[in-house]
Amino acid sequence: MEGYVIGDKDLVLGLRLLGIKGRIVSNKEESLEVLKRVIDEGDAKIIFISEEFSARIRDELDVIRTRNKDLLIVEVPERVGVKGETPPAQKLIQKTLKIRV
C-alpha cells in the first residue's frame, strides 16, 4: 500500500525512516495544496496528516473523504506523553501499519 505523510518536520522525517514519502508543511494553504496534489496523482492509498494541520482544513478534509471512498486519511495526534510512555502518534503508527516503531 502506497502511503504519504503531510505534517511537521518530526512526523514527516519519522515516517520517511519507514519508507513513507512525505512533505513538510508549515501552514493551512500549503497542507491543503499538498493534499490535493497527492490525491490528484492517485499514487497514495493512505495519507497520514498531522492533527495540527487536519484541524485547520477540517471542512475540506470532510469533502475529500466523502468523494474518495477508497482513500484512507489518518490524522496523527501531536507528539505528547509522559516520559517513558509511548507517545500517542507512535501508538497510532504501530496500530495502523502493524509495525513496531
Q: What is the pLDDT of residue 42?
A: 86
Q: What pLDDT is stored for residue 20 in this prediction?
A: 93
pTM (predicted TM-score): 0.75
pLDDT at 25: 95
Distance CA 71, CA 55 (A): 19
Residue with cell 502506497: 2
Structural domains of the chain in order of their starting residue, each with its CATH number: 3-76 (3.40.50.10580)
Instruction: List the chain pLDDT tens, one digit each, 101 residues.
Output: 589 999 999 999 989 988 999 999 999 999 999 999 999 998 899 999 998 899 899 999 989 989 988 899 999 887 654 455 556 667 767 776 666 65
Residues 6+ apart with CB under 8 A from 47: 3, 4, 5, 6, 35, 38, 39, 71, 72, 73, 74
